[in-house]
Every structure is written in structure tokens, then in C-alpha cells.
Amino acid sequence: MSQFKELKKEHRGLWSKEDAKKAREVFKDALTKDFNDTYGTDENDLASWQKLCTVLDLNVPDDVESCREQVKSVYVNLVDLIETPYTGKPVKHFKSEAKLSECTKKEEKYFPRDNVNAGDLLKYLLRQIIVPGKGKNYPRRRTKKNPEQLNHSPKAYIKQHNGV
């Protein structure tokens, strides 16, 4: 992620809006493919779940369901999860989805939510970042009374908050 920010900084003013948009899409594809290559795509593959448990410094169970429960119990930024094999830094655990959301927004480390290359394992790990729950297992409510909650994409958030 930091490499992409540096690239954007270097090319500020040189890229057209269309070029910047294309670069962002290529970067999103690369993030998703990197996750798939590192952790797998099959949400029923025990080895993939065990690798996630290991990288997240969790107990490593012998069955898929127990691994899922372990992973589901933690909140981590997926960009950090992808970068950890390269940086050697442990993945930071957050106390809640709201805390994860706060940090993700602050550091602008959004993971592409609807990437065509995303496997089922990755889709299982995605959290609500734009409009998070208030804590573990907090039910998310989307009502017609609060329409801004209906679109959770980073693009919609950025558009709403930056007027782009």
C-alpha cells in the first residue's frame, strides 16, 4: 500500500484522472491476487485457514469450522495481512470492527470489496469499514431512514466526504 501511495505522490499532476483511476484498479487487482496467491481462495480448505491462523498468531485448530471461529474472532486490516510476509511485522489486531474501521480510514488502507478476482476465502474475511458495527457481533441495520448506510464502498465514502 505504501508503494502505491509513493507512486501516486511521484505522479501527482502527471496522471490524468483516468490514468489515476486505471492505476488504482490495477493496484486493487494486484492486492486481491496477492491475497489469493498467499492464502488461497477456497473457504473450505483447511490448509488455507490454518495458514491464516498462524499468520494471525492464533491457536491453529485441526478442522475448518474451528479455524473459521478463530479468525472470525479477530479484526485485522487485510492490507496489513497481505503485507506481513514482506514486512515481517505481525498483523495488528483491533478490539472491534469500529476500531478497525477508524484505523483503516485514517491510514487509507482500504481493501477492494467487490473485486472480480476475490475468492470465497477472501470474501469471508471482509468487514464493514465505511459503516461498521459498534462492537463484536453487533447487528448492522440498514434502513430507508438512513440511506447513506446503503452504499458501503470506499468510492462512495470518498465521494461523500471529499466531494469527488
Closest CA relative to residue 48, chosen from 57, 60, 56, 39: 39
Which residues in the chain show pLDDT less than 50?
1, 135-151, 157, 163-164
8 Å CB contact between 131 and 140: yes
Residue 119 and residue 155: Cα distance in Å, rounded? 21
Which tens digits make up the pLDDT trace of 28-57?
A: 888 889 999 999 999 999 999 999 999 999
DSSP letters along 44-111, please? T-HHHHHHHHHHTT----SSHHHHHHHHHT-B--HHHHHHHHHH-PPPPPBSSHHHHHHHHHHHT-PP
Residue 51 and residue 40: Cα distance in Å, rounded? 9
Domain total in the chain: 1
pLDDT at 140: 37
Q: Which amino acid is at 56?
A: L
Q: Helix axis angle, 46-55 relative to 78-87, nearest 10°?
A: 80
φ/ψ region of 75 (left if φ > 0, alpha if ψ in -120 to 50, else beta) reads beta
Cell 465514502 locates to: 157
pLDDT at 34: 92
Residue 94 β-bridge partners: 75
Instruction: Report the sign of the C-alpha dihedral through residues 12, 151, 40, 86, in that order.
Output: positive
Residue 70 and residue 46: Cα distance in Å, rounded? 13
Q: Which domain, by its residues, includes 28? A: 2-131+140-162
Eight-state DSSP code of residue 150 = G
| This model's pTM is above 0.75 | no
